[in-house]
A and B are shown apart, each in its own frame.
Chain A
Amino acid sequence: MTAVRVEDVWFTYEHEPVLRGASFEVAPGSFTALIGPNGAGKSTLLRILLGLLKPERGRVEIFGSPPGGHRSRAAGGSHPIGYVAQRVRLPSGFPISVAEVALMGRYGRLGLFHAPGALDRARAADALARVGMAEHARRRFSDLSGGQQQRVLIARALAGEPRLLLLDEPTAGLDPAARARFYALVCDLQHAQGLTVLCASHDVEVVSEHVDRLVLLDREVRAAGAPREVLASSALAQAYTFPAPHDHGADGA
Chain B
Amino acid sequence: MSEFLAYGFAQRALATGVLLGLSCAVLAFFVVLRRMAFIGVGISHAALGGVAIGVVLGVSPLLAAMAFSVGVAWVIGWISGRGEISEDTTIGVFFPTAMALGVALISLSPTYRQDLVGYLFGNILSVRAVDVWILAGLATVSLGILAAFFKEFLFLGVDEEAARAAGVPAEPLRYLLLTVLAVTIVASIKLVGIVLVSAFLVVPAATGQAVAASMRGMLAVAIGCALASVAGGLWLSWLWDLPSGASIVLLSAALFFAAVVAGRIRRR
Interface residues of A (CB under 8 A from B): 50, 52, 70-72, 74, 81, 83-85, 88, 90-91, 93-97, 100-101, 104-105, 107-108, 110-113, 115-116, 140, 153, 156, 160, 166
The A contact surface, by secondary structure, is: mixed
Cβ distance A75 to chain B, nearest Cβ, rounded Å: 10
Within 8 A of A (CB), among B193-223: 209-210, 212-215, 217-218
Cβ distance B268 to chain A, nearest Cβ, rounded Å: 16
When A and B form their complex, what is the total count of cross-chain residue pairs whose Cβ atoms lie within 8 Å?
80
Residues of A within 8 A of B154 (CB): 96, 104
27 interchain pairs (CB within 8 A)?
A50-B164, A52-B164, A52-B165, A74-B166, A81-B165, A83-B161, A83-B165, A85-B159, A91-B32, A93-B210, A94-B32, A94-B33, A94-B209, A95-B213, A95-B214, A95-B215, A97-B214, A97-B215, A100-B215, A104-B151, A104-B163, A107-B155, A108-B168, A111-B167, A112-B169, A153-B162, A160-B166
Write out, one digit per residue, whether chain B residues 227-268 have a CB within 8 A of any chain A CB (1) or not (0): 000000000000000000000000000000000000000000
Q: Which residue of B lies closest to A109 (CB)?
A: B166
A101 touches which of B152, B158, B161 (Cβ 8 Å): B158
Check if B165 sits within 8 Å of A93, measured CB to CB: no
B167 touches which of A84, A108, A116, A156 (Cβ 8 Å): A108
The B contact surface, by secondary structure, is: helix
Check if A107 sits within 8 Å of B152, measured CB to CB: yes
Task: Report how far A87 CA is from B161 CA in the complex, Å.
Answer: 11
Residue with the greatest number of chain A CB neighbours at <10 A, chosen from B33, B149, B167, B212: B167
Task: Report how far A160 CA is from B162 CA in the complex, Å.
Answer: 12
Interface residues of B (CB under 8 A from A): 32-33, 35, 148-149, 151-152, 154-155, 158-159, 161-169, 209-210, 212-215, 217-218
Q: A93-B209, A95-B217, A108-B165 are in contact. List 20 more A-B contacts (CB 8 A).
A: A50-B165, A52-B164, A70-B167, A85-B161, A88-B158, A88-B159, A91-B35, A94-B32, A95-B218, A96-B215, A97-B215, A101-B158, A104-B151, A104-B163, A105-B166, A111-B167, A112-B149, A112-B169, A113-B148, A140-B213
Residues of A within 8 A of B213 (CB): 95, 140
Q: Which residue of A lies closest to B217 (CB)?
A: A95
Residues of B within 8 A of A153 (CB): 159, 162
A96 touches which of B152, B158, B168 (Cβ 8 Å): B158
Residues of A within 8 A of B152 (CB): 107, 112
Cβ distance B214 to chain A, nearest Cβ, rounded Å: 5
Check if A71 sits within 8 Å of B166, measured CB to CB: yes
Residues of B within 8 A of A105 (CB): 166
Residue with the greatest number of chain B CB neighbours at <10 A, chosen from A84, A96, A110: A96
Task: Report how far A166 CA is from B159 CA in the complex, Å.
Answer: 15
Task: Report how far A85 CA is from B218 CA in the complex, Å.
Answer: 27
Check if A83 sits within 8 Å of B166, measured CB to CB: yes
A88-B158, A95-B213, A96-B215 given; A107·B33 CB < 8 A? no
Task: Report how far A191 CA is from B161 CA in the complex, Å.
Answer: 27
Residues of B within 8 A of A97 (CB): 214-215
Cβ distance B57 to chain A, nearest Cβ, rounded Å: 38
Residues of A within 8 A of B163 (CB): 104, 107
Residues of B within 8 A of A93 (CB): 209-210
Residues of B within 8 A of A116 (CB): 151
